[in-house]
Amino acid sequence: MRELFLENVLLQLVLLLLIDLYIYTSVFRTTRNFRPAVRRAIRTGIWVMSALAVAAVVWYKFSDPYYKALSIRQWIIIGVMMIYGSKLLTIAIILIDDIQINTRRLIRYLKARNGKEIGGKPITRSEFFDKVAIAAGFVPFVSLVNGVLSGATDYRVVRQTIYLPGLPASFDGIRIGQFSDTHAGTFFNKIAVRGGVELLMNEKPDVIFFTGDLVNYQTDEIDEYLDVFNKVRAPLGVFSITGNHDYGNYRKWSSDSEKHRNFLDMIEAHKIMGYDLLMNEHRFLEAGGERIAVIGIENWGMGPPHRFPKYGKLAEAYKGTEDAPVRLLLSHDPSHWDAQVRPEFPDIDVMFAGHTHGAQMGVKVGDFRWSPSQYIYKQWAGLYQEGKQFLYVNRGFGCIGYPGRIGMPPELTIIELKRGIG
């Protein structure tokens, strides 16, 4: 088994070196007319980066998977993927040129064998293609780096109005703040995170919903940020739920009791921050002698149970809200809406979800919007309506996997509920 592991590691390292060697041929030609010092710096830099990538892969493969924090390993592997993902685009362009060059060479060779005279210069790879290929490789790399340095903390407030005919007069105009998917293990700029929280507080919402995924792998990721997120306050309260990442299902534990302790710590973290964590239960918001229901469930998601657990018990949480004029549901995964909420609970007025992050990547121009997320989730970002029921999917506060965002900024939502028909 160990021999197979070592062979796999060696194969990956050889693949990285072959990629660098192929690209180096273009760099070598492109830099041959540069000043000697610049030429040496660039050519040496190629192999220094390659050596660092190889060292990172070796460390990743042989280090303790749970050393210090999974975030260290995450940053390493994502850094390697960003560099070599960009290099693959460079290779694709070089390969196109090599294919046309070798095709022309084959034609010349066949003509020569048939005794036809062939003039002109020997066919070589175009220096123009070399330069285009190298430049093209920098475009995704720069975009990905900018997505980390800037996009990850470019918090935006998104405002939306929802009209509900049954909304009590006392709640007409209530402003609900929503944030979701903090994924604290990926944070690297505490000042920026604090700025995101302040941006939400400046909106002065009447009530705030946090819709799950506080961390990536384990509860202690939030420890350093408890004093930031405990500043989230609202007159009618802050209500929260758990997401699929909050149970410690995505890492190995030495024992079931250790994993259970981690989840107890998760519950305690919500208490420390002052959030009312709804674990398949409900609360009532009261104003002017009237009230509406807030229902919160544990994670319930479509897909493999080991990835998207179904801990949510909506029927249990719903019980006792039958007489409420309006019911607001907090459920982390938007797939829950079509799978259970709409068919079984048609009197739940609005569901608040997160989970998708909008894939942390997308394009929005006017009314047109696109994201890879739409190929996985029917409802992936923004407001949706079916009949009299609404779903709002928050694009997330933090990141998972790639620690950045491109065209899909982190979102702080302000939803105003209005009495009537929109």
What is the rounded distance in angstroms from the CA atom of residue 303 to the CA atom of residue 235?
37
> Which residues have CB under 8 Å from 317's CB, separation 6+?
278, 280, 281, 282, 295, 296, 297
Token pair, residue 11, equals 């194969």
| Contact predicate 316/280, CB 8 Å | yes
Give the pairing type, strands 174-179 and 207-210.
Answer: parallel
What are the pLDDT digits (tens) for 28-67?
777 777 788 887 887 787 788 778 777 777 776 676 655 4
Residue 380 pLDDT greater than 60, yes or no:
yes
Q: What is the mean pLDDT of residues 125-132?
A: 62
For the segment 54-107, what is each residue's pLDDT rounded down to a tens digit?
777 777 667 665 544 556 666 676 777 777 777 777 777 777 767 776 777 777
| Contact (CB, 8 A) for 174 and 207 | yes
> Does the pLDDT at position 118 exceed 60?
no
Kindly indicate the confidence band of residue 368, based on its pLDDT and cuts at 50, 70 and 90.
confident
Average pLDDT, the chain: 86
Reported confidence tier of residue 158, pLDDT bands at 50, 70, 90: very high
> What whole-number distance in Å separates Cα of residue 385 and Cα of residue 383?
7
The answer on pLDDT for 117 being more than 70 is no
Q: Given pLDDT bands bounded at 50, 70 and 90, which one contains residue 133?
A: low
In tens, the pLDDT along 350-361 reads: 999 999 999 999
Of 259, 343, 348, nearest in space to 297 by CA: 348
Tokens linked to 350? 């609005």
State pLDDT tens for residues 321-350: 999 999 999 999 999 999 999 999 999 999
Inter-CA distances, 58 with 47, 66, 87, 143, 322, Å? 16, 16, 20, 27, 58
> How far is the C-alpha of 50 from the C-alpha of 33, rounded, in Å?
23
What residue ranges define each of the domains in the chain, with the CATH number in brackets? 2-149 (no CATH), 155-419 (3.60.21.10)
What pLDDT, on a 0 to 100 scale, did the predictor assign at position 379?
A: 96
134, pLDDT greater than 60? yes
**What is the per-residue pLDDT for 212?**
97
Separation between Cα atoms, residue 221 and residue 232, nearest integer Å: 18
Q: What pLDDT digit, counting tens, does each position of 186-242 carry? A: 998 999 999 999 999 999 999 999 999 999 999 999 999 999 999 999 999 999 999
Q: For residue 6, what pLDDT band results from cuts at 50, 70 and 90?
A: low
In this prediction, residue 67 carries a pLDDT of 47
